[in-house]
Structure 1
Amino acid sequence: MRPADPAAPAFVQLAAHPLRWRLLKELAVSDYRVRELVERTGQPQNLISYHLRLLRAGGLVTARRSSCDARDSYYHLDLQQCAHEFARAGSALHPALGFAPAPPPSSPRAARRPAVLFACTGNSARSPIAEALLRHRTKGQVEVTSAGSHPRPGMHPDAVQVLRDQHGIDISEQRPRHLRTLNDRRFDYMITLCDKVREVCLDFTGHPRLVHWSIPDPAAAAGPDGHPAFVRTVVEIDTRIRYLLPLLTPASQEVQP
């Protein structure tokens, strides 16, 4: 008698459920709260919460308290973990199967560079970090800027130091700017990195695609030395940007470490 076939990898079992797959697809685009996922899927809140718990237990989804309203939580898809799980699932089927990036589209690239706006409250840490990292990684292929709803007088010194130390990027001469100074600019993506600024009503020309990354303010880290919080923030933003690149530049299909 042949031995029973082993169970499918945990990732396959989790992702195979239609509603969980829909949740993964929604969270691959943006961080969302439960009530927003209820609206986007048309499913009851208790069912959404149940499947989110399973995805969290499987290590694919994380939750973080909103810095705007601590009664709320934002759910985030860990794309890096998903990539690892895809690779493991492929290897379980056959050693030669790995995570292969999709081929670049055959249609010609649009003449206009995609434009991305990063926004947070003070425009002194999170959004300028994201702006600098995206500009650095795309080498001019993307038009990128950042702004804040309540800009601070200057860049946070820890943000300047960590970017310089880790990536050789200097933003010391950059100055925070207000979101309203960009009202007439056209953007393809507007990415908010702050739960508070996401609640601000923003009306930009061209109706950009709205994406939210729920990232805590490293400047609000407890303790006299907030530098480690800035290191973590730069790492998280850089990871998210690497998974954003294939959406912005067709040539960047493979996520680089």
Structure 2
Amino acid sequence: MASDRTAPPPFVRLAAHAVRWRLLSELARSDLRVRELVDLVGEPQNLVSYHLRLLRSSKLVTARRSSFDGRDSYYHLDLDRCADALADAGAALHPALRLLRAEPEEAPASETPSVLFMCTGNSARSPIAEALLRHRAGGRVEVASAGSHPRPRLHPHAVRVLRQHYGIDLTDQRPRHLGTMTGRRFDYVISLCDKVREACPEFDDHPRRLHWSIPDPDADGGGYPAFDRTATDIDTRVRHLHPILFPAPHGKAQP
């Protein structure tokens, strides 16, 4: 039997399996349901579910009940945990191979990606995502948010969490209807609500569709701590979105 020193690190053993690597690759792009993963991977549902259980047991993947259909679950890949596992795997082979997280690339002046965030009420999740992406991208992204059934105003806890933790003031912003986005061109349309994902309208130019399955912080009387957790989750996802919007030039090595 191989010793602990010569055995491949756990992440390598997990990710080396072809089906699990496909699952990781698909979940790295978007939160997805089992039936969607079955279609994308092209394997039977029982096999996909088995490998998802292994990935969940390693805490690389989490699952959450859909707010649209409680019989469904959305699976989400923890990219920060993957980054740590990859770094540990490199260091296990040789200390010089420990991977360092790359700093965000500066976007060429001619490239300005456009992103639309959607949720139902456009009062918390999607305006938080809009504000955080605009903040982190430093004005190098055209970003908007809207809702299928917009509320009269932003939730005060959403306004408060952005002001207290990120210095962002949304006091004067009002929720917008998805209909106001008709005719606008977007490179990416990102739903943050399971319900609005099912009701997403068609957009011109066929933008890339992504889904972030994030619970409504106002559900079940979560109060301000729920909005704090939601903003943290969204900020992590926005940070991971940045390299997708601004990929490193072809052939350029990452630090």
Q: How does 1:161-176 map to 2 (within 5 A)?
A: 161-176=160-175
* Count, aligned residues: 250
Q: Structure 1 length normalisation: TM-score? A: 0.91
Asked whether the equivalents of residues 128 and 231 of structure 2 are also in contact (C-alpha less than 8 Å), the reply is: yes
Give the corresponding residue for 1:55: 55
Cα distance change, pair 167–3 in 1 and its aligned pair in 2 (3 A):
closer
Cα distance change, pair 7–205 in 1 and its aligned pair in 2 (3 A):
same
Question: Aligned partner of 1:241: which letter?
Answer: V
Cα distance change, pair 94–124 in 1 and its aligned pair in 2 (3 A):
same
Give the corresponding residue for 1:241: 238
Give the corresponding residue for 1:75: 75
Give the corresponding residue for 2:114: 115
Gaps of 5+ in 1: none
Shift of 1:104: 9.0
Counterpart Cα distance in 2 of 1:72 and 1:144: 30
Asked whether the equivalents of residues 104 and 242 of structure 2 are also in contact (C-alpha less than 8 Å), the reply is: no
- Residue aligned with 1:74, SS: strand
Counterpart Cα distance in 2 of 1:8 and 1:25: 20
Shift of 1:98: 1.5
- Residue aligned with 2:96, SS: coil
Asked whether the equivalents of residues 104 and 243 of structure 2 are also in contact (C-alpha less than 8 Å), the reply is: no
Shift of 1:57: 0.4
Q: CA RMSD in A?
A: 2.4
Question: Aligned partner of 2:86: which letter?
Answer: F
Cα distance change, pair 180–3 in 1 and its aligned pair in 2 (3 A):
closer
Counterpart Cα distance in 2 of 1:32 and 1:203: 19
Are 2:130 and 1:145 aligned? no
Deviations along 1:81-132, one digit per CA (max 9) or x if unpaired, are 0001011111111112122457999xx9472410000000000000000000
Question: Aligned partner of 1:22: which letter?
Answer: R
Shift of 1:145: 0.3
Counterpart Cα distance in 2 of 1:36 and 1:109: 35
Cα distance change, pair 204–53 in 1 and its aligned pair in 2 (3 A):
same
Give the corresponding residue for 1:64: 64
Shift of 1:249: 2.0
Counterpart Cα distance in 2 of 1:4 and 1:166: 42
Asked whether the equivalents of residues 62 and 78 of structure 2 are also in contact (C-alpha less than 8 Å), the reply is: yes
Give the corresponding residue for 1:205: 204
Asked whether the equivalents of residues 221 and 229 of structure 1 are also in contact (C-alpha less than 8 Å), the reply is: no
Shift of 1:59: 1.1
Question: Aligned partner of 1:173: which letter?
Answer: D
Counterpart Cα distance in 2 of 1:88 and 1:204: 42
> Runs (4+) of structure 1 moved beyond 4 Å?
2-5, 101-105
- Residue aligned with 2:32, SS: coil
Question: Aligned partner of 1:212: which letter?
Answer: H
